[in-house]
Each structure stands twice: as structure tokens, then as C-alpha cells.
A and B are shown apart, each in its own frame.
Chain A
Amino acid sequence: MTPARTTVDLRPPAMRLRPIRWMRRNLFGSPFEAVLTLLILCGLWFALRPLVDWALIDAHWSGQGRDACAGGGGACWVFVRARLGQFLYGFYPEAERWRVDVGIALVALAAIPLFLPRMRRKGSIACIALPAAFAVAGFLLTGGAFGLVAVETGRWGGLMLTVVVAVTGIAASFPLGILLALGRRSEMPVIRTLSVAFIEFWRGVPLVTVLFMASVMLPLFLPDGANVDKLLRALIGIALFAAAYMAEVVRGGLQAIPRGQYEAASALGLGYWRTLGLVVLPQALRHVIPGIVGSFIALFKDTTLVLIIGLFDFLGIVQAALTDPQWLGFALEGYVFAAAVYWVFCFGMSRLSARIERRGAPANAPAGRTW
């Protein structure tokens, strides 16, 4: 499928400069640059030194209770260590936490083939393995049969809830997003209008209002007496919201498929669905993997909003721990720890997506939701 190349683009040869020449060129290129460099170095010294002192050198790492942090101006990481179990699992019973680990590991294992460059038929494998892994993980988390104690979703929390919301959101929005993208490109006016209206509605409103709607209005929409779990309501709202963005990502991939592919498929006698399943989607979805990862990062950050409707996700549980009378005054430690965890996840995923992009996705692949 590589397009015929008539010219070969060669990169200019890399310039290797010796350190002194490199510094003269890149740090002290002109008097103005030199002054700027020195000013920045000065500023960094005065800004970073207290920070390093606080976070590492003067920090308290070991001990029990807040007495361990008495004296000195350093950070109190004892607080984070004491609460780590809660930060990771929320109020999930301690004896059952292995179920969370196994469930998340299963889903991660099923997703690995997608990221292996040389794996063959990874799409088909993922189509079977991922839903199966989701089903098993979902059962592991909720329990209630085969000797597993039931754990109601009210006790879920922490990083585990964040991962559950983000992964469920992306997984549920994926098929819906593909259908909406196809609908938006459909030649049938009714289907197209409905898809456009759906997509633009969800993209036009903030997630906070979507969550309010899910928690306040959704119960009104259902028949009297039907009681939907609070977490499930939030998940429904997030899935619909994410589906609209996913639809736009997939649409970008569909637009990148040349008309000739459709025509060739028709010439081979394939119908609409077989054209899509065998020719169009396998190519289109490969184009949009970076866009999907981008959406996942955005969703991962957005899961924090569920704390507004009273769920204890990772940020929610850190925030709650800060108001614990036993540990008052460690807000900075809590926020820095939470920020570091979110940063590692998001930055890691964006690097992963950049690697996939370099490996083969076309340069004009759509970027997806990038905020």
C-alpha cells in the first residue's frame, strides 16, 4: 500500500558540535541571548533549590503518624505512604484487593497485542480478547458469585476507579463512535442529520453538565422504581460524551481512505458492511490510533470530574484525605503526589502514541481531542 515514490527525501546530515561550540551557538548566540541564558539559570537556581530541598532533602519518608513529620520544613511523604492503600483502591475491602489487580492486569494483557508492531491479525485478536477480558474483570470487581464476595460500587475508589471509568468510557465509546462516524458520512439524510445532531450536542456542552444530567435527570428518564447505580449513571454519561469525540476521530480516519478503495471493494462484489469490515475500517482505524490514544489521555484527565457528583476517584480520595483531622496541613504533599501520578500516566501514553505515529501512521492522521 506504499504510494509510488519518485523522489527520495534525505534528511540533512546531523551536525555534531563540540560542547563549547554547541554552547556558543545555542546558549550565547548574541549578547541578548547570553543575558537571557544567565537570567534563566539564575531563576532556575533560586526556584529549583528550595523545591528540591522541600521534596527530597528535607522530606520525611519513614515513620508512623504525623509525629514523624514534626520539625523541619520538608515534605511529609509519610502521609502519602499511610494513605497509599486508600489512594489506590478507595474503600475496596483489603482482603479482596487482589481482584482489582488481576482484573486490570487481564485487560492490560488483552490490549498488549494492539501495541506490538509485528503482531499479525491483531485487530481480530483484540476484538475477541478485549471484550472477554472486560467481562471477566467486571465480574472480578463486582463479585457476588462463585465464592467471590459482592463489593458494591459505592466502595470502589481511588486510582482503581479512575482506571475503571477511563477504560470503560473509551471501550464503550469506541463502537458507538464508529457507528456515529459512519452515520455522519452516510448518504441517507435522516441518518446523517441524527448523527450530526448527536455529535454536535455532546461536543457542545461541558462534561460537568453531562455528569449533572446523568446523576439528576437520568433517574427521571427511567420508569419509576428502576434504580440505576450512581457509578453506572456517570459511566453512561461519560460514554455518550466520549462517543461524540470518538466519532470525530474515526471520521478523520475514514476521510483518509481514498475513493478507489471503496470502488475496488464494490468491483469485487462486496456489500456495504463487508466493504467496511474488510477494507475500510482496518485501514481507517490504523490511521487513528494516535487520535484514540489522545482521546484516552483527555478522558483519563476528565475522569477527575466525577468527584463533583460525589464519586471518589483518585483525585477525589486524595482531596478527601486532605480534610482528615489527623492529617491536616498536608495539602501540598497530596496534590504533588496526585499530580505526579497523573503526569506519569498521561505523559507515558502520549509518548507511546508518538512512537506509534512515527512507526507508520500517516502524517495527516487526525489528532483527536487534545485537551
Chain B
Amino acid sequence: MIARHLGDPRLRAYLWQALALAAVVWLGAIVVGNTVANLESRGIASGFGFLDRSAGFGVTMSLIPFGETSSFGRAFLVGLLNTLLVSALGIVLATALGFVIGIARLSPNWLVAKLAAAYVETLRNIPLLLQLFFWYFAVLRALPAPRGSVDIAGLIFLNNRGLYLPVPVASTGTVIALAVIGAAAALLVAAAAFGFGTPAMRGRVRLGCFALIGLGALWLIASLGWDRPHLAGFNFRGGVSLIPEFVALVVALSTYTASFIAEVVRAGLQSVPRGQIEASLALGLSRRRTLRLVVVPQALRVIFPPLTNQYLNLTKNSSLATAIAYPDLVSVFGGTVLNITGQAVEVIVITMAVYLAISLAIAFGMGGYNRAVAMRGT
């Protein structure tokens, strides 16, 4: 009787699902029960109240003011901002480098193509952590002290305390130049959007706008004052200083990820069938317009999803910061705060939740993009 009912696939499906759910709930209950008992026996109060308590430690780099009296919650924010900063900068640099190398791999020049291939095969077959150690311990920490800094054109200085860059200082002229550039750009966009006048007039307007933007840019550069780093006593003053941990992490992340982005770009460009290029040339489009109107739009459709994947990887890989003590989320919050407070469960749950949120947000964004650019009518 029961055996006959068990043969019913629908009933069996319900049974399997109930069983799976029960197993998960049971496992969860055991884990929660054990954790509560363990925390009690160690005298650790659970909850997120510790976030308001005063931290009592300092960090080597923070984008917001942080002192020893700041709270653990603020330490979390410091770490999160440092993670976002290093990821954003890494993404920009990795994209630029990756596109250059990916295009170089398809160069008609044999030497350029082989050099790009050698870069990719070397960098992506060596663990990121090893590359990070190399940049940090063997390169940056081995640099001379501030007095013997590596001096690049008297503007940029590199020593074992970090990287010192000049920063631009705005003046009144800068503001005016920016306003001129903004107005010209707005006019350009408006001309393109509304298409007033004759084509010849539009051409003249466009030319005028470009000239204005060019002049504005020159003025902008001329109007900027530069705050240059200079040696004062035992260290540099002025400009902006970047700690060696930050520099090592950005360099390692961007060069490593660039090798993967290069492969993504190459695959994307190669995915455009030769016939498309030949057809476009046959229609009389110039090489540049072929590239801009035919190759790139089709290649980007292929490149974009794996590219965002690499961005995600870079963001997750930035957590290796903890190995060289760059104060990122994992290092400050998952390391220092966890060790001081002993709130292991809360700290790790929050840390993981942040990365998970970033991953899911990017995944959703990418899903939307994919739907928007999906091939229609094929």
C-alpha cells in the first residue's frame, strides 16, 4: 500500500524536499545550540553592542578621522572604505592595463604579441599572495630611506615609507576653466541630441565646442598650483603620501587582474567574426569607423560579463591585504577588532555579509545589463 504510493513521483518529490529541509534545519539547530553553549561557557556576550564601544587602537591609513577613542563601528567603516578605495583604484588600473595587453596580444607585430602573451602567462600562473609579498617585501620595503628616495622628475618620490605624489591645488582660474569646459560640453551634448540647424552649422558648432574644451583644458592645467612633496627633516612634507602597503596591494592586484582582463578582451575581440570586418570595409567604412561602429559594440557584449566577474574577483582578492597588514575590512575588522573583542561570530558574519552584498549587487546589475544588450531578433 505504502510502496504503491511511494512510486508516485510527486509524492516522492515532496518527501525528498521535506527530508532536505528537515536535515538543514536540524543541522542549523545543532550549530546554533553548540555556538550558544560555547559562547556561554567562554563568557562572551553575543550581540552587536560592541560596535559602540571605544576601540582603543590606531590604524595606519584611514579616509575618515579615526583615533583611539573611536568606536569599533567606526573601525568597521574605516576598513570598508579602505577596501573600496583599493578595489576602485585597482579596477581602474587593471582595466587600462588589461585592455592594452589584450589588444597587444592581437597586434600584427610578432614581438608585441609575444611580449603580451608572456606577460599573461607569467602573471596568471603565479599565486597573487606571492606577487603581493614580492612587491611589498622584496621591492617596496627594500627601498632606501627617505634621504635616498627614488626621485622621479623632482615631483614623485618613492622610499621605504611609501609613495609621495604632488597634489593639484585649485585657484579661481580653475573654477572658471571648469565652468567653460562644462558649458562647452553641455552645448555639444545638446547639439547632438536636438540636431538643430543645417549639418554644416552643426559641424561648425561642434568644432567650436571642441576648441573651447581644448582651450579650457589648457587653462585648467595652467591655473593649477601644485603642492609638491619635499624633504623636511627625516621625512617628506606636502603632497599626498601613500603607505607602502597600499601601493603594494594596488600594484599586485592590478597587474595580476590585468592578465585575466587581457584574456577576456582578446576573447571578446576575436569573437567578432572576420566577415563582419570585411563587410564593413566593403561598405566603405574606414578602419577606425569599422572598429568603432562594428567591432567594439559586438566585442563589448562578449567582454562585459566576464569583465565584471574579474572586478568582483579583484574586490574579493583585496582581502589578501591582511597578509601585509594594509588596514582593509578583513584586516581591521576581521583581524584586529575580532582579536580585541572576541566577538568572532558577529565580526565574521558582518564581514562576509559585506562581501556578499557587493557580489550580489554587481551580479544583479550585470543581469540587468545582459537583458538590456541581449541580441534581439536573432
Whether A209 touches B355, Cβ cut-off 8 Å, given contacts A188-B17, A190-B21, is: yes
Q: Is A168 interfacial (CB 8 A cutoff)?
A: no
Of A27, A200, A208, A315, the residue contacting B109 (CB under 8 A) is: A27
Known A-B contacts A40-B112, A200-B360; A307 and B129 likewise in contact (beta carbons under 8 Å) = yes
Name A303-330 residues within 8 Å CB distance of B. Answer: 304-305, 307-308, 315, 319, 322
Closest A residue, CB atoms, query B310? A371
Contacting pair A212 B20 (CB below 8 A): no
Asked if A194 CB lies within 8 Å of chain B CBs, one says yes
Q: Which of B150-158, B168-176, B290-298, B312-320 contacts A (4 or more CB under 8 A)?
A: B312-320
Tell me which of B118-126, B218-226, B230-238 binds A. B118-126
Cα A29 to Cα B330 with chains together (Å) = 51
B228-281 contacts to A, CB under 8 A, are 257, 260, 263
Query: B-side binding surface: helix, strand, loop or mixed?
Result: helix
Q: Are B111 and A27 in contact (CB under 8 A)?
A: yes
- Which residues of chain B (37-92) have a CB below 8 Å from chain A? 37-39, 41
Q: Taking A40-B115, A209-B351 as contacts, is the C-beta distance between A220 and B17 under 8 angstroms? A: no
Q: Tell me whether A220 and B319 are in contact (CB under 8 A).
A: no
Check if A301 sits within 8 Å of B128, measured CB to CB.
yes
Does residue B35 face the partner (Cβ distance < 8 Å to A)? yes
Q: Majority SS of interface residues in chain A?
A: helix
Query: 0/1 per residue, B94-118, Cβ < 8 Å to A?
Result: 0000000000000011111001000
Tell me how far the C-beta of B347 lies from the nearest C-beta in chain A, rounded to whole angstroms. Answer: 9
Determine the distance from Cα of A134 to Cα of B236 in the docked complex, in whole angstroms: 58
Quick check: which of A52-60, A95-103, A108-116, A340-348 contacts chain B, the rest being far away?
Answer: A340-348
Size class of the B contact interface (CB-based, 8 Å) = 35 or more
Which residues of chain A are near B34, meaning CB under 8 Å? 220-224
Answer yes or no: A33 CB below 8 A from chain B CBs: yes
Q: How far is the CB of A350 from chain B (nearest CB, A)?
A: 7
Q: Which residues of chain A are near B359, meaning CB under 8 Å? A: 200, 203-205
Known contacts A200-B360, A220-B34, A224-B38: A335-B316 contact under CB 8 Å: no
User: Of B39, B257, B355, which one neighbours A206 at CB under 8 angstroms?
Assistant: B355
Instruction: Determine whether the beta carbon of B133 is less than 8 Å from that of A319.
Output: yes
A27 x B110 contact (CB < 8 A): yes
Once A216-B338, A335-B138, A339-B134 are accepted as A-B contacts, the answer to whether A305 and B129 lie under 8 Å apart by CB is yes
Whether A331 lies near B126 (C-beta < 8 A) is: no
Q: Is A64 an interface residue (CB 8 A)?
A: no
A332 at the interface (CB under 8 A from B): yes
B211 within 8 A of A: no
| A335–B248 CA distance with the chains assembled, in angstroms | 15
- With an 8 A cutoff between CB atoms, is A136 at the interface? no
Whether, in the assembled complex, A105 has its beta carbon less than 8 Å from a beta carbon of chain B, the answer is no
Contact status A346-B355, CB under 8 Å: no
A206 with B122: CB separation less than 8 A: no
Question: Is there contact, CB below 8 Å, between A189 and B330?
Answer: no
With A and B bound together, what is the CA distance between A188 and B10 in angstroms? 10
Tell me if B24 counts as interface (CB < 8 A to partner A): yes
Taken together as a complex, chains A and B put the C-alpha atoms of A36 and B351 apart, in Å, by: 48
B348 touches A216 (CB 8 A): yes
Whether the pair A205, B356 counts as a contact (CB closer than 8 A) is yes
Shortest CB–CB separation between residue A32 and chain B, in angstroms? 9
Pairwise interchain contact B17-A209, C-beta atoms closer than 8 A: no
Convert A266-281 into 0s and 1s, putting 1 for each residue whose CB lies closer than 8 angstroms to a CB of B: 0000000000000000
Beyond known contacts A206-B330, A223-B34: 18 more, CB 8 A cutoff: A33-B109, A188-B13, A200-B359, A204-B355, A205-B352, A206-B319, A209-B348, A212-B334, A220-B34, A220-B39, A220-B345, A297-B125, A304-B128, A304-B130, A315-B130, A331-B138, A335-B138, A343-B122
- Can you list the 4 inter-chain pairs with the closest CB atoms, starting with the nearest? A204-B359, A346-B125, A190-B17, A26-B110
Q: Please name 27 pairs of A and B residues whose Cβ atoms are closer than 8 Å in the assembled complex, sorted by A.
A: A27-B110, A29-B108, A33-B108, A37-B109, A37-B111, A40-B111, A187-B13, A188-B16, A188-B17, A201-B356, A205-B355, A206-B316, A207-B316, A209-B351, A212-B351, A216-B348, A217-B344, A220-B345, A301-B127, A302-B127, A304-B130, A305-B320, A307-B129, A322-B137, A339-B131, A342-B126, A346-B125
Please list the residues of chain A having a beta carbon within 8 angstroms of any beta carbon in chain B.
Answer: 26-27, 29, 33, 36-37, 40-41, 187-191, 194, 200-201, 203-209, 212-213, 216-217, 219-224, 297, 301-302, 304-305, 307-308, 315, 319, 322, 331-332, 335, 338-339, 342-343, 346-347, 350, 370-371
